[in-house]
Structure 1
Amino acid sequence: MKLYGMPPTRVLRPLWLLNELGLDYEMIPVDLGAGAHLTPEFLTINPVGKVPVLVDGDIQVSESAAISLYLAERYGGGRFIPTAIEDRAAMYQWIMFLVTEIEQPLWRIALHTGIYPESDRRPDELPLAERDCRRMLVPIESHLKGRKWFVGTSPSVADFIAAFTIDWADEAGFLDQSPNARRFVERMYARGAAPPTIKESWAALERGDQPPGRRAA
């Protein structure tokens, strides 16, 4: 398998599943700053021109949450996908919530602080995005009270999606009123198969290193 992308982007989500499942893969760095995701070669892999992308034989899957679910369903052997239909429904619900209600305001902040050209950035978007993200962290904080996992009694794909996404919110400084969420992130990243955090990935890039696939022991 080949996984296209580079930490600290959302490639960390499927990278985590690959590690947890002990799968062999090759990480193919894609330099977004140099426009490598818009080359004709890459567009044959993902016409949308975004990372991450997983190539598994004849199967190509994009979107980090979809890749994570695919890996668990195909290679998990019963791990990380709940058996009961009601638990699977809850897992899907939380995954969709995380990528729409938490990730999207964080992405708006990234766009308007560093990704868009200066002329397209709107500083007035930043407080609105922070407000939206903080509001949606409230039900997560309540849900995690007294819970180890988002769904059921064992980890599911929702937990790995959540750990990365809530870590992103922490990087933005939004977990000051979310102790349950912060403890959840710390517990998840203490797992032996955890990828580097967003902060660790940025630090590696600043040193000129390629971020590792796993956290340092």
Structure 2
Amino acid sequence: MLTLYGVPPTRAIRPIWLLNELDLECRIENIFPFDADSLRAVKAVNPVGKIPYLVDGDLILSESVAIMLHLAEAHGGGRFVPRDAADRAAMNQWNFFLVTEIEQPLWRAGLHQVIYPEKERSRIEIALAYRDCRRFLEPLEAHLDGREFLVGDEPTVADFNAAYTLDWAGSEDQLDASPACLAFVERMYARPAAPVRISEGFAYLNAGKTAPRYRRDLGEQ
């Protein structure tokens, strides 16, 4: 039995998306990111102290994109990881690009907006973070223009990673000059197995509820 620890709207959405697409049975333990007791429990199992993390037998794995890759490679039956070595390299290039050049500025802005103590926050840092994010959205926008997926003609792990990361950018009003990125996000979240979007996850969290695993389940709550 696979067990995933985390909850939308956090980066747990990434591996949840792969679980949905691969139709894998998995118990999801709702670990809330700002709950001290929950985080102490996380550290007892995962010394890094981060969510999401996956337990797969004896394997305890953190980092959301690493979890996605493991699910595809170990349980995906060949889906979402290209067989061709060059295509796999391109997929991983985009995975690293997304988490380092797009996500990290967004995370930096979030730290200074809501997570750091008030006295440690900086409006200058927020502005610089958004500037850095928009700078690296430009090559991604150019790459996606006229393409359905990041690599080849079928979705890979990088596409699910990109959809979540760009949804994050869009929720921070950073995609106004990126129509190809916006269209990509809408296409990906129109997939039947798509999870909730970040804004939907926050809405459930703020209401003291847990978001459903599938976006299409929203109408059934």
> What range is the shorter-chain TM-score in?
over 0.9
Matched with 1:178 is: 178
Matched with 2:205 is: 205
Query: How far does residue 205 in structure 1 lie from its aligned partner after superposition?
Result: 1.8
1: distance between equivalents of 2:127 and 2:110?
A: 13
Cα gap change, 1:37 to 1:93, in 2 (>3 Å): farther
Matched with 2:44 is: 44
- Larger displacement relative to structure 2 (140-149 or 117-126): 117-126
Normalising by structure 2, we get a TM-score of 0.95
1: distance between equivalents of 2:111 and 2:187?
A: 29
Matched with 2:23 is: 22
CA offsets 1:166-195 (integer angstroms, 9 cap, x no match): 000000001001000000000000001110
2: distance between equivalents of 1:37 and 1:205?
A: 15
1: distance between equivalents of 2:210 and 2:179?
A: 31
Alpha carbons 1:11, 1:52 under 8 Å: kept: yes
Matched, 1:131 2:131: yes
2: distance between equivalents of 1:38 and 1:129?
A: 27
Pairing of 1:88-99 with structure 2 (within 5 A)? 88-99=88-99
Pairing of 1:59-74 with structure 2 (within 5 A)? 59-74=59-74
Matched, 1:194 2:194: yes
Matched with 2:8 is: 7
Query: How far does residue 214 in structure 1 lie from its aligned partner after superposition?
Result: 0.7
2: distance between equivalents of 1:45 and 1:17?
A: 23
Alpha carbons 2:31, 2:39 under 8 Å: kept: no
Structure 1 or 2: more helix by fraction: 2
Secondary structure of the equivalent of 2:45?
A: coil
Alignment RMSD: 1.0
- Larger displacement relative to structure 2 (29-38 or 85-94): 29-38
- Larger displacement relative to structure 2 (88-97 or 195-204): 195-204
Counting aligned pairs with the same residue, the percent is: 55
Structure 1 unmatched ranges of 5 or more = none
Normalising by structure 1, we get a TM-score of 0.97
Residue 23 of structure 1 aligns with an amino acid whose one-letter code is: L
2: distance between equivalents of 1:80 and 1:50?
A: 25
Secondary structure of the equivalent of 2:28?
A: strand
Query: How far does residue 48 in structure 1 lie from its aligned partner after superposition?
Result: 1.2
Residue 139 of structure 2 aligns with an amino acid whose one-letter code is: P
Structure 2 unmatched ranges of 5 or more = none
2: distance between equivalents of 1:181 and 1:76?
A: 26
Alpha carbons 1:37, 1:50 under 8 Å: kept: no
Matched with 1:151 is: 151
